[in-house]
Amino acid sequence: AQSALAAIESQQAINAFLHVDPALTLAQAQAADALIATGNAPALAGIPIAHKDVFVTRGWRTTAGSKILANYVSPFDATVVERLQAAGAVSLGKLNCDEFAMGSSNENSAFGAVLNPWDTKSVPGGSSGGSAAAVAAGLALGTTGTDTGGSIRQPASLCGISGIKPTYGSVSRYGMIAYGSSLDQAGPFARSARDLVELLDPMTGFDAKDSTSAEQCGAEANAAGRVRRAFDAHAQPADADLPLKGLRIGLPREFFGAGLAEDVSAAIHAAIRQFEALGATAVEISLPRTELSIPAYYVIAPAEASSNLSRYDGVRYGHRAAEYTDVDSMISRSRAEGFGAEVQKRILVGSYVLSHGYYDAYYLQAQKLRRLIAQDFQQAFTQCDVIAGPVSPTVAWNLGEKSNDSVAMYLADIYTLSGSLAGLPGMSIPCGFGAGPVNAQRPVGLQLIGNYFDEGRLLAIADRYQ
């Protein structure tokens, strides 16, 4: 913990951390030392981690990257925070992110952009950019993040580390500041699949405080130990020379079309050849509504966001305008001052698609598409065991390159949104680098998507490759 705190101090320019409190961290570390001395310490005892600033924490401020929550301190810990602490992990503090997790480049944070440690001219991805950059820069062994439409997989890919979004419902959303509640799911970032198991396993499990928490995962209860057991079971290959023998990897035609950069495509194909060398068979599949996942997502997510963000009214939480004439002007001024441009845009879009006369044309249509997209995946899983493809159509782009063009930014989410709409587990593992100078290499991530509650197997497959 001490050396991690020193590293954070020396790497402030990356802007990955929003709040640190060394005294609090070191007190947790001492408690972990005492546990370790008993010889009966939990698995993560003393391991320094950090949380995306959308998980509420008792000791540290929680801002969700927004000015509206700039001074907010929660009276309780999110379930994810509580469970990782119970597993012995030591918290280093809170990580920068796009405001209310809206973004793909971490340039929407009210507290400044995060820089990608591989090439500080480039973005780390978003919205969990601080979480990915902190692991990539060696500031923490693991971090937490949230993924609504790609915010774990995409920054993991752009920062050359590993990250997993588990099945919707496997990790509690209690104490996670809401963006799009039917899509939001927490998960970990780390350097390897094996490290992800150590973090995801204790995070996982039913929580009565989250109304969409899954109690059962197939025949099994949703509890800590589930991910690790599945990982261990799949990590024992029948054939040591061909550890992935019999595994069918589905390659969706729509993930390899025009729009995929050549350097990314080359790295993904090289990774698939390596899977084949390990015994897997590649099969071509189709996810015919891949392109439609963009408009469907960018209707549903803002609709839910507009509803979730109505709680920031200057009365109960966060910023209140200094000057106002009546209650209405107090609310509207507080919101106008507190929310950034992208958040305001999404509140407008969300309110519009939910309003009378437009609901049927937009929101209902998007929900129907969502169902069809989920069905397409089930059809695909009759032909393959796991789906593989790119996470992002390009390597990390330059800071500022897309920040004035929301649509270009939304289009870059094409390979992550459909899995989110279907609620499926997905991960990103590093699989090479794009074209570019060796002193400023930009990483490429391979996406693996599994069927519901198959995160243990996904991690075991990733571990074979790594």
Report if residue 147 touches ligand GLN, rule: CB under 6 A.
yes
Taking the complex as a whole, the smallest distance from the CB of residue 80 to ligand GLN amounts, in Å, to 15
Rounded distance between C-alpha atoms, residue 26 and residue 23, angstroms: 5
Q: Binding ligand GLN by CB under 6 A: which of 93, 103, 163, 445?
A: 103
Taking the complex as a whole, the smallest distance from the CB of residue 232 to ligand GLN amounts, in Å, to 30
Taking the complex as a whole, the smallest distance from the CB of residue 396 to ligand GLN amounts, in Å, to 14
Task: Report which residue's Cβ sits closest to ligand GLN.
Answer: 151
Report if residue 148 touches ligand GLN, rule: CB under 6 A.
yes
Residue 151: active-site member: yes
| Set 128, 151, 172, 293: catalytic member | 151
- Closer CB to ligand GLN, residue 95 or residue 101? 101
Residues numbered 380 to 419 that lie near ligand GLN (CB under 6 A) are: 413
**Which range touches ligand GLN (CB under 6 A), out of 14-22, 77-85, 143-151, 458-466?**
143-151
Q: Pattern 316-345, binding to ligand GLN, x per CB under 6 A? A: ------------------------------
- Closer CB to ligand GLN, residue 275 or residue 397? 397
Ramachandran angles phi, psi of 92, nearest 5°: -90, -10
Report if residue 127 touches ligand GLN, rule: CB under 6 A.
yes
Q: Pattern 57-96, binding to ligand GLN, x per CB under 6 A? A: ----------------------------------------
Residue 127: active-site member: yes
- Closer CB to ligand GLN, residue 63 or residue 127? 127
CB neighbour list of residue 258: distance below 8 Å, 6 or more residues apart:
none
How open is the CA angle 390-393-395, to the nearest 5 degrees? 95
Taking the complex as a whole, the smallest distance from the CB of residue 345 to ligand GLN amounts, in Å, to 11
Taking the complex as a whole, the smallest distance from the CB of residue 277 to ligand GLN amounts, in Å, to 33
| Set 52, 67, 94, 402: catalytic member | 52
- Closer CB to ligand GLN, residue 179 or residue 275? 179
Per-residue HEC secondary structure of the chain comes to: CHHHHHHHHHCHHHCCEEECCHHHHHHHHHHHHHHHHCCCCCCCCCCEEEEECCECCCCCCCCCCCHHHCCCCCCCCCHHHHHHHHCCCEEEEEECCCHHHCCCCCCCCCCCCCCCCCCCCECCCCCCHHHHHHHHCCCCCEEEEEECCCCCHHHHHHCCCEEEECCCCCECCCCECCCCCCCCEEEEEECCHHHHHHHHHHHECCCCCCCCCCCEECCEECCCCHHHHHHHHHCCCCCCCCCCCCCEEEEEHHHCCCCCCHHHHHHHHHHHHHHHHCCCEEEEECCCCCCCHHHHHHHHHHHHHHHHHHHCCCCCCCCCCCCCCCHHHHHHHHHHHHCCHHHHHHHHHHHHHHCCCCHHHHHHHHHHHHHHHHHHHHHHCCCCCEEEEECCCCCCCECCCCCCCHHHHHHCCHHHHHHHHHCCCEEEEEEEECCCCHHHCCEEEEEEECCCCCHHHHHHHHHHHC
193, with CB counted inside 10 A (0-12, 13-18, 19+), is: buried
- Closer CB to ligand GLN, residue 25 or residue 105? 105
**Which range touches ligand GLN (CB under 6 A), out of 101-109, 221-229, 233-241, 440-448?**
101-109
- Closer CB to ligand GLN, residue 338 or residue 426? 426
**Which range touches ligand GLN (CB under 6 A), out of 12-20, 97-105, 421-429, 443-451?**
97-105
Taking the complex as a whole, the smallest distance from the CB of residue 100 to ligand GLN amounts, in Å, to 8
Size of the site for ligand GLN (CB under 6 A): 13
Taking the complex as a whole, the smallest distance from the CB of residue 18 to ligand GLN amounts, in Å, to 17
Report if residue 151 touches ligand GLN, rule: CB under 6 A.
yes
Q: Which residues pair with 176 in a beta bridge?
A: 55
Residues numbered 345 to 374 that lie near ligand GLN (CB under 6 A) are: none
| Set 74, 127, 170, 392: catalytic member | 127
Q: Which residues bind ligand GLN (CB under 6 A)?
A: 101-104, 127, 147-151, 179, 301, 413
- Give the catalytic positions in this structure: 52, 127, 151
